Chain A
Amino acid sequence: MPESTLLAAALGVVGGALAVGLVVFLRRIVLASKELGTDAERATYQTLHLASRAAKHLRGGGGEAEVLRAGRHLRALLGCESLAIVDRTGRVTVDGDDAVRAVAADLAAAAIASGKPQVQRHLSIGASETDAIVAPVLGSAGPFGAIVAFSTPVRAGLVRATGEVADWVAAQVELGELDASRTALAEAEVRALRAQISPHFIYNSLNAIASFINTDPAKARELVLEFADFTRYSFRRHGDFTTVAEELRSIDSYLRLERARFGDRLTVTLQIAPEVLSTVVPFLSIQPLVENAVRHGLESKEGGGRIAITAADSGAFAELTVEDDGVGIDPETLARALAGDPSTGEHVGLRNVDARLRQVYGDEHGLVVETNVGAGTLVRMRVPKAGPKRDGRTTP
């Protein structure tokens, strides 16, 4: 009984896979025959297809393997025998006959110097003779390199095509540089957004400590140490990531200092699933939420209030919430603040954390805020536990 059932299951799986494969194959044949079109349409399609495949590699940043793959598509596009791509530094990548390497380097250097396409006839490569077209790849800020196409004999069409391809390559490389600088800009923005310790907090904490110096020197000393711990963590230079456990420790220092001001008016509840403590999160991403709860939720409310911090395990994600029962935020103001409206300056902490979470984990992992005027605020974040590219270690 179990063997026959297993056999039936195995046959079912194999049969199903074959059927799916057959359907996909037939569909492809049918679609291909329907959309073949005229010869001119097919040629256009073929050209655009090769160009788009080459573009992907050209924009990839110019690693040797990327250039090699782009060269393969470009050679197919031009229909020449060998194609060499020479970059600014003189590095030659050849697709086709590798013997042209030295000749290509010389031709490219000459073309880059003159800035114009050149045709060279009757070059001897080893035992055979060939013609070559060199087209410099000129960007707006100077030459990127040159393309050398080898063919016997060189026809006028190939000369024009090589020139066009060189211009097109220049545009793609510039687009690639644009992509790279956009990424760099986003990273710089995140660095700049890295939460900063608020001057209000420093001022308030020092005042609170000062008030204890005479009445309770031991407590004042303890608070100064707490302040030192907190600032050392917040001013840390290296690393954009930390662990939930470290972040909680910093929140502890922060709350001790706030308690010196609020006294019993501030109640804090903490519910932590130990599984999430080693989760790597962006540096100073939870502490600003707690600070926001104290600042905007409770400070302006009579009689103090309650803050609940929870961290729960949710499959491959960690879910962190910070809730207060304070005065709440007007949803419209909050929406504008999160969208980056500078007139709503007081919620800059939330905006800052939200922007960094979106940058690191993608738009679906931004902050979720539930609030209304007088109804308290609940801020929730959900971050993936896996972070092989993010190192939360404190020692670099």
Chain B
Amino acid sequence: MNPAIGYTAIVGVALVSALIGFYGLRVSRTTSDFYVASRTVRPWWNASAIGGEYLSAASFLGVAGLILLTGSAALWFPIGYTAGYLMLLLFVAAPLRRSGAYTIPDFTEARLESPWARRVTSLLVIVIGWFYIVPQLQGAALTVRITTGLPSWVGSVAVAVIVAVVVAAGGMRSITFVQAFQFWLKLTALAVPVIALLLVVGGGEPPAQLTPAEAFPPSAGPGDLDVYRTVSLMVALLLGTLGLPHVLVRFYTNPDGVAARRTTVIVLVLLSVFYLFPTIFGFLGRAFAPDLAASGEADALILLLPERLVPGPIGDVLTALVIAGAFAAFLSTSSGLVISLAGVISQDLLGGSVRGFRIAAIVSTVVPLLVALATESSGLAGSVGLVFAFTASTLCPVLILGIWWRGLTSRGAIAGMLTGAVLSGAAILGGPFVATSVPLIAPYLEQPAAWTVPLAVIVIVTVSRLDRRGTPAGTDAFLTRLHVPER
């Protein structure tokens, strides 16, 4: 592959994002603009920004790679990633916005009136954020290695440095417009190549490497699903979305609960449209590039397929577009995560000063960078799926019970979060070793959400019921504020 295409695309995306970040403020010089400048963000913009922040390396590269590897079982990933917003719409979006909390730790502290609940939540948010950034950096390493031929670590370091510098320098003065731009860039970067490839393939040239029967064997079809794994994955993805720190802070930009709900509906539509394209990429890959699955480069499918099917300058343009979209995915998700992590770290540990925010921004990029450099990617969609399982077992039960159950106490919440964290953390980190010796329990360790989430909920409810201190004094007032509509 011509490295110049890769460099141009990567530098272009980084520059445009930084420029929008710096100059994307609304400026008014005449009185008549005043009203426009002080108007809150429309749900459409906000929904685009949430999409931009949410669609990470796992969605852009990982889903297609996983379809290439495992067939229709991988289709559950885009379904779960999207349907998580249905849960958000039904249970969380409007009440959380009305609470006035900016981050999840703010919410738990206000709801449970306990600084310890806040500390535990902050700790979990930081851990989740770090492990969510790791796959982004691994995706960047893969993309740089495939498209420019440079060593892998260059990609991780480049993304980490760009994100740390832009965030620490206060470059994201208006993150909504940057993220909204990144969403539409990502959508274009997949939609245009997919349509072009379908047109080319529809003409019969080049011929598919595998016949339909070989490319889509029944063993990779929906008839061969493992029920437990699928259910557990869906629990993780549906509930995990509720606790993602970088997604929830975006809801604060909505002026009220009604706008928060409307935004969520639009996000659902945008994501449904988006996930059509990586899915088609995956299916094309099964027929036209089956060798990638064998060589362990499945996640690079989206980067390599346009050039293989359409050689020449048009192929180069399509490749550049795809690389730009992939980098938009790494940059937007990591910068969104780093901003919310730096906010939590600086507020809880460094007193909330500007300097503290800068230090926190650098810390929250360096730690995942070290992890990303020390480990190798074992499938982007899969590793993000595990972060979802962890989030679903820790933050999600507390968030939902905190909004909908008045009996929740701080001791119950802390006990539940720690139980969920220990169980799902042990299953995710220790699972691979135990599974080799006891293959019978392997699926329960690989997809732990189906048993860790209910256990966490049971612990929360039991401990809350037994807590002699009872519910916090302000519970009723706070719940009223969450659930009574603004007008």
Interface residues in chain A, defined as those with a beta carbon under 8 Å from any beta carbon in chain B: 1-3, 5-7, 9-10, 63, 65, 243-245, 248-249, 252, 255-256, 259, 267-275, 277-278, 280, 310, 312-317, 364, 382, 384-393, 395
A146 vs B25: C-alpha distance in the bound complex, in angstroms? 64
Please indicate which of the listed interface residues A2, A63, A391 has the most CB atoms of chain B within 10 Å of its own CB: A2
Which chain B residues lie closer than 8 Å to A315 at the CB level? 339, 342-343, 346, 357
Query: Is A271 in contact with B430, judged by CB distance below 8 angstroms?
Result: no
Which chain B residues lie closer than 8 Å to A274 at the CB level? 26, 39-41, 45, 174, 176, 253
Query: Is B27 in contact with A269, judged by CB distance below 8 angstroms?
Result: yes
Query: Is B174 in contact with A317, judged by CB distance below 8 angstroms?
Result: no
**Can you name 8 A-B pairs with beta carbons within 8 Å?**
A2-B378, A5-B374, A9-B371, A249-B38, A270-B33, A274-B41, A275-B175, A364-B352
Assuming A269-B27, A388-B100, is B35 touching A245 (CB within 8 A)?
no
A267 vs B34: C-alpha distance in the bound complex, in angstroms? 13
Query: Is A248 in contact with B170, judged by CB distance below 8 angstroms?
Result: no
Confirm or deny: B349 has a beta carbon within 8 angstroms of a beta carbon on chain A.
no
Confirm or deny: B470 has a beta carbon within 8 angstroms of a beta carbon on chain A.
yes
* B376: nearest chain-A partner, CB-CB: A2
Assuming A249-B38, A270-B34, A390-B100, is B376 touching A395 (CB within 8 A)?
no
8 Å CB contact of A278 from B31, B34, B254: B254
Query: Is B375 in contact with A388, judged by CB distance below 8 angstroms?
Result: no
A63 vs B469: C-alpha distance in the bound complex, in angstroms? 12
The secondary structure that dominates the A interface is mixed
Assuming A313-B172, A391-B481, is B102 touching A256 (CB within 8 A)?
no
Which chain B residues lie closer than 8 Å to A314 at the CB level? 170, 354, 357
Assuming A6-B429, A7-B430, A384-B102, is B375 touching A245 (CB within 8 A)?
no
A280 vs B255: C-alpha distance in the bound complex, in angstroms? 11
A65 vs B99: C-alpha distance in the bound complex, in angstroms? 27
Which chain B residues lie closer than 8 Å to A269 at the CB level? 27-29
Which chain A residues lie closer than 8 Å to B354 at the CB level? 314, 382
What are the 8 closest A-B residue pairs judged by CB atoms, nearest first?
A: A388-B110, A316-B343, A386-B102, A248-B38, A315-B343, A386-B106, A385-B102, A273-B174
Confirm or deny: B181 has a beta carbon within 8 angstroms of a beta carbon on chain A.
no
Query: Is B25 in contact with A245, judged by CB distance below 8 angstroms?
Result: no
* A249: nearest chain-B partner, CB-CB: B38
Which chain A residues lie closer than 8 Å to B470 at the CB level? 65
A241 vs B67: C-alpha distance in the bound complex, in angstroms? 52
- A-facing residues in B80-112 (Cβ within 8 Å): 99-103, 106-107, 109-111
Which chain B residues lie closer than 8 Å to A10 at the CB level? 429-430
- Within the complex, what minimum Cβ distance (angstroms) separates B427 from chain A? 12
Confirm or deny: B440 has a beta carbon within 8 angstroms of a beta carbon on chain A.
no
Which chain B residues lie closer than 8 Å to A389 at the CB level? 100, 110
Query: Is B375 in contact with A6, judged by CB distance below 8 angstroms?
Result: yes
Query: Is A273 in contact with B343, judged by CB distance below 8 angstroms?
Result: no
Interface residues in chain B, defined as those with a beta carbon under 8 Å from any beta carbon in chain A: 25-29, 31, 33-35, 37-41, 45, 99-103, 106-107, 109-111, 170, 172-176, 252-255, 339, 342-344, 346-347, 351-354, 357, 371, 374-376, 378, 429-430, 432-433, 469-470, 473, 478, 481, 486-487
Assuming A3-B433, A255-B31, is B100 touching A272 (CB within 8 A)?
no
A269 vs B344: C-alpha distance in the bound complex, in angstroms? 32
A281 vs B342: C-alpha distance in the bound complex, in angstroms? 22
Query: Is B429 in contact with A316, judged by CB distance below 8 angstroms?
Result: no
Query: Is B100 in contact with A65, judged by CB distance below 8 angstroms?
Result: no
A277 vs B26: C-alpha distance in the bound complex, in angstroms? 12
* A385: nearest chain-B partner, CB-CB: B102
A43 vs B256: C-alpha distance in the bound complex, in angstroms? 58
8 Å CB contact of B28 from A270, A273, A364: A270
A10 vs B28: C-alpha distance in the bound complex, in angstroms? 53
A42 vs B453: C-alpha distance in the bound complex, in angstroms? 48
Query: Is B26 in contact with A393, judged by CB distance below 8 angstroms?
Result: no
* B110: nearest chain-A partner, CB-CB: A388
* Extra inter-chain contacts (7) besides given A65-B470, A277-B255, CB under 8 Å: A1-B375, A7-B429, A243-B255, A255-B31, A268-B31, A277-B41, A388-B109
- Within the complex, what minimum Cβ distance (angstroms) separates A95 from chain B? 13
Which chain A residues lie closer than 8 Å to B100 at the CB level? 280, 386-392
8 Å CB contact of B351 from A2, A6, A277, A364: A364
Query: Is A252 in contact with B34, judged by CB distance below 8 angstroms?
Result: yes
- Within the complex, what minimum Cβ distance (angstroms) separates A155 from chain B? 33
* A388: nearest chain-B partner, CB-CB: B110
Which chain A residues lie closer than 8 Å to B473 at the CB level? 63
Which chain B residues lie closer than 8 Å to A1 at the CB level? 375-376
- Within the complex, what minimum Cβ distance (angstroms) separates A43 from chain B? 30
- Within the complex, what minimum Cβ distance (angstroms) separates B425 from chain A? 8
* B486: nearest chain-A partner, CB-CB: A393
Assuming A245-B40, A274-B40, A278-B252, is B174 touching A388 (CB within 8 A)?
no
8 Å CB contact of A245 from B39, B111, B346, B357: B39
A382 vs B354: C-alpha distance in the bound complex, in angstroms? 10
Assuming A245-B255, A273-B173, A316-B347, is B481 touching A252 (CB within 8 A)?
no
A267 vs B255: C-alpha distance in the bound complex, in angstroms? 29
A387 vs B170: C-alpha distance in the bound complex, in angstroms? 22
* A276: nearest chain-B partner, CB-CB: B253
Assuming A278-B40, A385-B102, is B469 touching A65 (CB within 8 A)?
yes
Query: Is B38 in contact with A312, judged by CB distance below 8 angstroms?
Result: no
8 Å CB contact of B26 from A5, A272, A386: A272
8 Å CB contact of A259 from B29, B31, B344, B432: B31
- Within the complex, what minimum Cβ distance (angstroms) separates A261 from chain B? 14
Please indicate which of the listed interface residues B29, B38, B352 has the most CB atoms of chain A within 10 Å of its own CB: B38
Query: Is B38 in contact with A272, judged by CB distance below 8 angstroms?
Result: yes
- Within the complex, what minimum Cβ distance (angstroms) separates A301 from chain B? 20
Please indicate which of the listed interface residues B37, B170, B347, B353 has the most CB atoms of chain A within 10 Å of its own CB: B37
- Within the complex, what minimum Cβ distance (angstroms) separates A364 from chain B? 7
* B429: nearest chain-A partner, CB-CB: A10
Which chain A residues lie closer than 8 Å to B347 at the CB level? 316, 384
8 Å CB contact of B31 from A9, A252, A395: A252
